[in-house]
A and B are shown apart, each in its own frame.
Chain A
Amino acid sequence: MNSAQPFFDFTSVWSSMPILLKGFAIAMACATVAIIIAILLGLIVALMRLSRVKILRWIAFIYTQFFRGIPLYVLIIWVYFGLAIAAGVNLPAIPAGIITLALLNSGYLSETFRSGILAVNKGQIEAGMALGLSRRNVMLHIVLPQAFRVIIPPLGNQYVDAIKDTAILSIIGVPELMRESKALANLYYRPFEFYTFAGLLYLFAVLVVSRGVSVLEKKLSAHSAQTTVIIDVLN
């Protein structure tokens, strides 16, 4: 037993710290850029879902179902290899990874936005209309600001998911935390230590994001939404 390696030996992890932190930074950057794009796409799709035009509603519905239903693993292969084969578009790994995450998350976020928008009291919209505001201004100044408050917690959850999902970008060669951990684990024969450390970094990121979300939530609910009162239009 005297020649056996110690059970836990994090020396190689410490010495690889710059590579690991760089991988972590790339993962965070991918998740952040992807979630920002997903918010914009998700909002557009949600507004289409709520449109009075049937075709737009249908397109949005199919979009949502598709990107919520497809596994990340398959989608990433399609975007990275499929686009290259079918359309000759050779995306570098990082943009392909970001696009994949953005599409996938936009599917979920469009539903989040939709429910947030629908949660705004109908009376608020009527009050805006009664002032003579255009539909656009009612949406922009009355509905969306109130919807946004409701969706901050699920938005935070989505961001957390996106951070963890970056691990799968390793399969197309994005040099993010998981890929670097795997390479180093193989190099030093220390899989347990490297994966554990990677896990701790993800956990750290998620805790920071969750904390940020709850701070933002408290700040915005300082003047909270009016209690929803259902108006009896027949009165």
Chain B
Amino acid sequence: MSSPVSAPDALAPDFLKLVGVSKTFGNHRVLDKIDLAVSEGEVLVIIGPSGSGKSTLLRCINFIAAPDEGEVIFQGHSWKAMSSKYNFLANRKYEQKLTVLRSEIGMVFQNFNVFPHMTAAQNVMLGLTKVRKQSKDNARKAAVEALSQVGLAEKVDQYPEKLSGGQKQRVAIARALALQPKVMLFDEATSSLDPELVNGILEEIRRLAKAGMTMVVVTHEMNFAFQVAHRIVFMDQGRIVEIGTPDQIRKTTEPRTRSFLSAILN
């Protein structure tokens, strides 16, 4: 099966790039000098066994987990790992700057992480009013619009408690998209969903891919990965083992990739 979307221009300048990104939790080196480049409009899917560092890699892109070493280059701007853990004021200032990076990158989580004390609309409005500094009225309009696009026009004023898992994840997607990010990160967005709800969310991601959104997607849905990805990254033990088009990955001779794929595709 070939990719439904035309592949981005291979010569396009790097839009998003990780250079030598490392991250350690305690004694465990979760990411080991990762180099990775994503072009504008590209859909990059990361696969790999549990504990391979996929989620952490995603979190390092927007510094939700700050890298210990290396840098993230986004639209020509370099975001380096914090130099010292002990210079409180410098870190605080840097963290304030990081909000700029984060506001350009949307993220959708495995556990939805919708805000339970806010209605669907309020969930979407928070970023619009506090980050984009929009007025309440404009934010409300944009929120209703964003929620309608993910099929939640009827649920605008519902609290998450009254929503299904799939609907919560749609709120989370609308919340991220409302800020009109340049990149979307999906961290196992369907792993907590009941099986019958998975396809709906995958459909939303597919829709975004067709619209040309740059995306980095961590998923266990292999069929989906092979259909939607321009390139697939296989990770193991904190390293990138292999990067290739879906066809290349499917036909790979790399033993670890093969054993992972054969285990998961059966």
Contact = CB atoms under 8 A, between A and B. Distances in A.
Chain B binds chain A:
yes
A149 B62 CA distance: 30
A70 interface: no
A127 B172 contact: yes
B53 interface: yes
Nearest to B187: A235
B126 interface: yes
Contacts of B102: 129-132
A127 B115 contact: yes
Nearest to A52: B88
Interface string A125-147: 01111111111010001100110
Contacts of B96: 134
Interface string B140-176: 0000000000000000000111100000000010011
Contact of B113 (A121, A137, A149): A121
B71 interface: no
Contacts of A226: 112, 114, 116, 160
A124 B126 CA distance: 13
Interface string A206-235: 000000000000000011111001011111
B99 interface: yes
Interface stretch (B10-18, B103-111, B256-264): B103-111
Assign chain A's interface to a size class: 20 to 34
Contacts of B117: 145-146, 149, 223, 225
A199 interface: no
Contacts of B95: 135
With a 10 A CB-CB cut-off, give which of A128, A134, A224, A233 has the most chain B CB atoms.
Answer: A233
Interface in B21-77: 25, 28, 30, 50-51, 53-56, 59, 62, 64-65
Contact of A133 (B112, B126, B172): B126
A124 B106 CA distance: 15
A234 B59 CA distance: 11
B55 A233 contact: yes
A161 B50 CA distance: 49
B100 interface: yes
Contacts of B189: none
Contacts of A130: 62, 64, 102, 105-107, 109, 176
Contacts of A69: none
A4 interface: no
Contacts of A233: 25, 55-56, 59, 65
B51 A235 contact: yes
Nearest to A135: B95
Contacts of B113: 121, 123-124, 126-127
B157 to A, nearest CB: 11
Contact of A124 (B115, B130, B162, B179): B115
A53 interface: yes
Given A130-B62, A223-B161, A123 B109 contact: yes
Nearest to B23: A233
With a 10 A CB-CB cut-off, give which of B64, B96, B106, B111 has the most chain A CB atoms.
Answer: B111
Given A127-B113, A146-B117, A233-B25, A132 B65 contact: no
A129 B105 CA distance: 11
B188 interface: yes
Given A223-B161, A235-B55, 10 more contacts: A123-B109, A127-B113, A130-B105, A130-B176, A137-B130, A141-B130, A145-B117, A233-B25, A234-B55, A235-B50
Interface of A: 52-53, 121, 123-124, 126-135, 137, 141-142, 145-146, 149, 222-226, 229, 231-235
